């Protein structure tokens, strides 16, 4: 049984690399930039707990034809490339192939289903952060799980994922799981605009209050839709904005586990800005804006974050202090 990682970036290389290091047959399709890094180095996978694994023979292929014959396809492209990925996959995979979206946002699986009507397309959620360190090295800097829409077609893969240390948690409520993850991912834009490591940024109340403002808008939009986000942290989602607004000392005592992450961890959005790549802000904060508008609500804080990140993509400011960013957002 062959697995193909389609979109071998940080998440794809980390998950696929651990599978390959544990004995699974894995093919990788990705960009030339990553292919050059992995060539001659293979993949080295580490995590914040000290685990290290090697997939010395791993290679990234550029041609999408490498997906042909795969029994399981893990799609890990950026959300903006989902439709194009579906079009590339459509003529190359067999009917009944299991395709899992390991992407941010709420609607990527829907897009893939439209493009791949003969496949079994399942939504997924990656609950951990991965940072690329160059030369085929990928580091998982936070705790988290792989959550996947329940389907019997995944059962034969469960042992391989468990052996790799990235077990598949099959869920009946994957829509609620994705909504819960989106609440957490609203942090990405704030982290990218701060240019600080996540731990240092979240240690400052002003930045946390920015996140609380964005989350309150998302929760209001969810209420309008009738969507109850799943609990993915120690707190129910509706309590998260209140916790984030606590003074630093109280927050640390009440939610110290939130800060138990690699001190060098950065958001994927910061990584994209650093590399000069387009971000996924339209599929994170922008998703909240769109959801709110469709139900007669406004989401000015998330709309402003989208605007600021797009400005940063064009070379604009990326060194906002917590106080400056909070003043700008609160004024909305």
Q: What is the pLDDT of residues 122-154, one digit of tens each?
A: 999 999 999 999 899 999 988 889 999 999 999
Q: What number does CATH give the domain 2-172?
A: 3.40.50.720
Written as six digits, the tokens of 318 are 């990326």
Q: Counting beta carbons within 10 angstroms of the beta carbon of residue 218, is it exposed (0 to 12), middle (13 to 18) or buried (19 or more)?
A: buried
Predicted TM-score (pTM) of the model is 0.92
The alpha-carbon radius of gyration of the chain (Å, integer) is: 19
Q: What is the pLDDT of residue 112?
A: 98
Q: What is the pLDDT of residues 273-324, one digit of tens each?
A: 999 999 999 999 999 999 999 999 999 999 999 999 999 999 999 999 999 9
Residue-level pLDDT at 257: 66
The burial class, CB within 10 Å (0-12 / 13-18 / 19+), for 310 is: middle
Residue 265 vs residues 95, 133, 291: alpha-carbon distances, Å: 40, 11, 29
pLDDT bucket at 1, cuts 50 / 70 / 90? confident
Question: Quick one: which of 106, 107, 11, 8 has its CA closest to 59?
Answer: 8
Which residue spans of the chain are classified as CATH 3.40.50.720? 2-172
Beta bridge partners, 140, equal: 47, 130
- Asked if pLDDT for residue 85 goes beyond 90, the answer is yes
To 5 degrees, how large is the angle CA 33–CA 306–CA 82? 45
- Assigned token pair, 67: 């997906």
Say if residue 2's pLDDT is above 80. Answer: yes
Angle among Cα 115, 19, 268 to the nearest 5 degrees reads: 65
Determine contact, residues 125/149, Cβ cutoff 8 Å. Answer: no
Range(s) within the chain of domains with CATH label 1.10.1040.10: 177-330
Q: Which CATH number fits domain 177-330: 3.40.50.300, 1.10.1040.10, 3.30.565.10, 1.10.1530.10?
A: 1.10.1040.10
* 332 pLDDT more than 90: no
Tell me the pairing of strands 137-140 and 130-134.
antiparallel
Q: What proportion of the chain, given as a percentage, has pLDDT over 90?
A: 88
In sequence order, what are the beta bridge partners of 60?
28
111 pLDDT more than 70: yes
SS3 at position 26 = strand
CA terminus-to-terminus distance, the chain: 53
pLDDT higher than threshold 80 for residue 174: yes
Q: What mean pLDDT is reported for the chain? A: 94
Sign, CA dihedral 175-177-183-186, equals: negative
């Amino acid at each position: 049984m062959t697995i193909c990682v389609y979109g071998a970036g940080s998440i794809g290389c980390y998950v696929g690399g651990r599978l390959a290091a544990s004995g699974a047959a894995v093919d990788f399709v990705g960009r030339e930039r990553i292919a050059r890094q992995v060539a001659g180095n293979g993949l080295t996978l580490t995590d914040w707990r000290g685990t290290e694994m090697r997939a010395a023979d791993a290679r990234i292929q550029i041609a999408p034809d490498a997906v042909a014959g795969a029994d399981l396809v893990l799609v890990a492209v950026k959300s903006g490339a989902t439709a194009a990925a579906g079009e590339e996959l459509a003529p190359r995979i067999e009917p009944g192939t299991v395709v899992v979206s390991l992407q941010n946002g709420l609607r990527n699986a829907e897009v893939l289903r439209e493009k791949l009507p003969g496949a079994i397309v399942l939504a997924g959620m990656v609950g951990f952060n991965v940072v690329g360190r160059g030369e085929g090295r990928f580091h998982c800097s936070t705790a988290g799980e792989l959550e996947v829409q329940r389907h019997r077609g995944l059962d034969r893969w469960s042992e391989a994922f468990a052996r790799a240390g990235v077990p598949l948690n099959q869920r009946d409520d994957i829509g609620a799981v994705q909504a819960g993850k989106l609440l957490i991912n609203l942090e990405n834009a704030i982290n990218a605009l701060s240019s600080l490591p996540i731990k240092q940024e979240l240690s400052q109340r002003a930045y946390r209050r920015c996140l609380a403002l964005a989350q309150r808008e998302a929760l209001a939009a969810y209420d309008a839709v009738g969507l109850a986000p799943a609990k993915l942290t120690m707190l129910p989602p509706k309590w998260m904005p209140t916790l984030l607004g606590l003074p630093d000392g109280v927050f640390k005592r009440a939610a110290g586990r939130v800060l138990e992450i690699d001190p060098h961890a950065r958001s994927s959005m910061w990584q994209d800005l650093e590399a000069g790549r387009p971000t996924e802000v339209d599929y994170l904060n922008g998703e909240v804006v769109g959801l709110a508008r469709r139900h007669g609500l406004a989401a000015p804080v998330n709309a402003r974050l989208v605007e600021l990140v797009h400005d940063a993509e064009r070379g604009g400011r990326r060194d906002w202090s917590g106080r400056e960013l909070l003043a700008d957002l609160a004024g909305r």
